[in-house]
Structure 1
Amino acid sequence: MIARLVTVVIVSVVLGGRAQAAPIVCPPGTENFAPFYDDAKLFKDAIASVAAIQPSNQRLTGITVPHHLLAADLVALGFRAASGFRYKRIVILSPDHFHKTHNLYATTLRGFETALGPVAADSDAVRLLEAHGDMVEESCLFDKEHGVRAMLPFLHHYFPEAKIVPVAMSVKAKRADWDRLAEALKPIVDHDTLIVESTDFSHYLPQHDSRRFDQQTLNMLAAGSLDGIAALSQPDHADSVGALYIQTRLQRELFGAQPLVVANENSQEHTSDYVERTTSYVVALFGTFGPSFNNPARPKDRIYYLAGDVNFGRAMKKILLRDGVADKIVDSIVSLTGARPLIVNLEGVILPNVPEAIDDMTLAMPQDLAAGMLKRLHVAGVSLANNHAYDLGASGYAETVRALDEAGIPHFGQGETLALADLDLVGLTDIDTNGSKNTDLLTPALLDRLLHENAQRPAVAFVHWGREYKTEPSAREEMLANEMRLRGVSAIVGGHPHVSSEAIVPLAGGDVAEVYSLGNFLFDQSAERSSGSMLELRVFSQGTIFVRLIPLPNYFEMGRK
């Protein structure tokens, strides 16, 4: 295998800015392409390295994996995640690395021999694609196209009965051309099809630049922004922006699927020597990810959940004290988080005993109930940066802090940082305590609390702002978000409006992912006037993050039924 890889490097030269490879030579007649990689051990070792990771328990409709076999374990991870289900057809989207297609796209009717066994082409599907002869040609470039060939041993192992439709994409293709190919693929892609996007990400950059470009790409993916993906640069962001665009578009339009990035690494991580020009890798799964999704994850990548407003007092207290209600709600939430760390916004004051005469707009909750629920939900942090933390003044705030400390639950207030294992959350509120007319509290000095020296530790602003029941930011919040972006945060996660945003918004070309409001989590308001979401936040070892928005049921109404 090493000899084969060296051969590819030797025959590739740069002429006029274009990579050139040896002339295309087709196998005799209709014979399969000969094996490209000779060493089966590389693939078997990679497959063994992910054997302990559970495949997705919900059917995937697409995966994105690298083709650089330095990251063979990541290729295996993507295929392993999809391997819980069978597929008749696999479409592979790859760059045409050596600029060998005369048209914009190439495919082939030939099959392939691999180090682990043969892979057949889906001749009927290929012919349908080749009917678009003005843009798709039959080609033997796949003999040496590693973007496809690196996939095939894994494909044979995990899906031995599947047939393939390989597609090599020219760098000359632009967005209108990608849209044409997407339309041509639609008759081929059905519910028995898995779309495999074979893409390496940021190229030829030092690691700190690669990290920034990767974060921009991850934020555009999280937002599902076709415009944002189309605006990414090649190869700074990816070696095939077109493949990423077509994958995202087909997944949305054919399956209603969203992406979930489960790995992001850089080639620098694979050696102790300094690498001046790196390549980065992404593994993404595409699916609908409904309740009880088992969320495949590597032990090295930490997952956190951020949720909105929580208060265990008033009417919420009454329903939680009913037989079985707290258990039902806890079970529902833990089925989503998998008992991973959860961070919430605690609205109100924790007291040993809540006075009966307290008014409804003063939020207070009993210590035993609050501490018990927070522990059962695996809460790893409580934000007190909100407009109800001082409802009973400084003494009430001190009581809350005492109760949380006694229960061993970390907390963070205005301008304070919650330092998790590999992530910093900074609490901020732009709204003063209930009963005060003070708003617009965030000053440059408070915003400067977001500045962190270690760029490999992502910082997230957990901010209380905006207007109740409004899901769109005002000019004030837009200005604050930009100031937070300039201070280097990876994500801005908001609360206070009691209603949830429906989307993740990428700011400034993807520098920051913003969720304006998570709405309610455990709060005594009906679904008629409120809503809630939870944000899944996955942290990767190079300091990038990927966020996914999960709509929540109304737990208050669940407890009333």
Structure 2
Amino acid sequence: MHPRVGVPLIALALAGMASMQFAPSVTDEPSVATITEPPTIAGVVVPHHEIVAHERRAVLQAVADQTSAPTALVILSPNHFVQGDAAVVTTDRTWNLSSGQRSVYRPLLDDLRERGIALDDQIFDREHGVPSVLADAAAAFPGVPVLPLIIDEAATQSQRAALATMLAQRCPTCLLVASVDFSHDQPPRLAQLHDVRSIRALRSCEQDAIRMIEVDSRAVLSVTCAYATQRGASTFTLLSHTNSGLITEDPHARATTHVMGYFGPQQDNASSTVAGTTTLMFGGDVMLGRCVGHRYGADLSQVFSELGRRFFWGVDAAVVNLEGPISDHAGAHTCENTFSFLFAPEVPDLLREHYLTHVSLANNHALDDGWAGYERTRELLGEVGVTPVGAPRELSEASVARIEGPEPVALLALHTLYGTPEGIPERISELSEEGYAVVVFPHWGEEYQREPSSRQRALARAWVAAGADLIIGAHPHVLQEVEVIDGVPVLYSLGNLVFDQEFREDTQVGAVAGVGISSSNVSLTLVPIRIERSVPRVWRDNAGLRFLTERTDLWESFRRDPANPHYVFPRPREQVLE
């Protein structure tokens, strides 16, 4: 079995939590937390996914061994099937468990009912987020009454805050048990990358951070963090981080991940450092006109239907190359062989709804609607919160986007097809000296050529020498070979992501790059993509993995997972500076 990411839970349950490592995410360095006295634990996060039922029970028992018995166990579950109309639902049923009957905590139930919380016992018959977690929590805390609550994801932030306050006021010695699975349906290594931001959000316990993570219930975690904060116990200790795809050693799995830990007071000798990794995803060329617009113009969301809304969700920045302007007068699309692209006004909303945060306009189609069209595109994107980066020809302030995260990242989008703008190495050096990890996203090379050109290689060497930490390219419409230059990974072209170039096999396959950048390394996870009638989907078979590994053999010495195209590159310049 694949070694799991995290502490062995059996040893944990037997030995207690006297000296414990934080489970590292893909790119995080482990730190150590030592518990010197029994903590006041306000909340526990455990999964309802049964593949890790044994670990869940061990975590709950370990927490029970380290804290006094709470007044009640409040089980918080997602509303997986969107049942009923209420934002929060509870039940007054008595639970028949293997450990015996367990009654609800009537004083809290009555208080919540008086404050408008709905009672709907029927919903609990179908909701799988409650029974196993409730049973395991009850077994760990014998005799403690329970109160399950189902929280709809549509609950507003004010409703979530009000519930947390009610719980803190009416039961300040309850233990909240958050029944939450984390990343869903993604390739295993991409799911791990998504979890980096999720774990960071738990460690910060900030509501804005929780709103951005890819989990099955942000609402449950929002209430748990707010309650823990009001209890003065909002420091999250990570006990285990597992992944169904890694557990089953299936690189093609639609993985579910599991983050387990508890919220308690800050320990004097415990690490309070938030995970220092900024996470990004890069897709290739996206063209939403011509045949794509003709086929799906009535509902452009079909273009991302196979990837789904979760695919680009959960990272600090998700970036693609947008091959054309967004126009108020795009008109009807046809499949005629035109090379001037205009995209419909609903495209910005489409990008935002699928969690794409940045698009490069540094390409040869940015001016297909003239300079006024380019400026209008920037305006339309900005109105919905999608950041345009890159200028059509020159190097300017528009060429740089600064990405917020634990490790500052500068994204530099460049267009070099009509000549290389002056001052690029100097700009890279400036950004590096300002403390940014520099990711260069160039539009370059020759169409349909699998091998990068000598000019691409020369530019890459110059940019690495200037301080670039990662180079990921676009424009050739095919996945090109990779290189390592002085320890820096160079992906010359990711190929297409959304396009209508169906006249070649290699224009209908490509890759998406998942990136983690910390002060000590750059990690890269590559996801193979196959395009059918302009719709990209994850290529989930061995042929897809072979397609990637055949093109990344120069990275083999940096590979960190035999079953997945996952690589880690040290950042030697940063280490020298330290």
Q: Give TM class, smaller chain.
A: 0.3 to 0.5
What TM-score results when the alignment is normalised by the length of structure 1? 0.47
What TM-score results when the alignment is normalised by the length of structure 2? 0.45
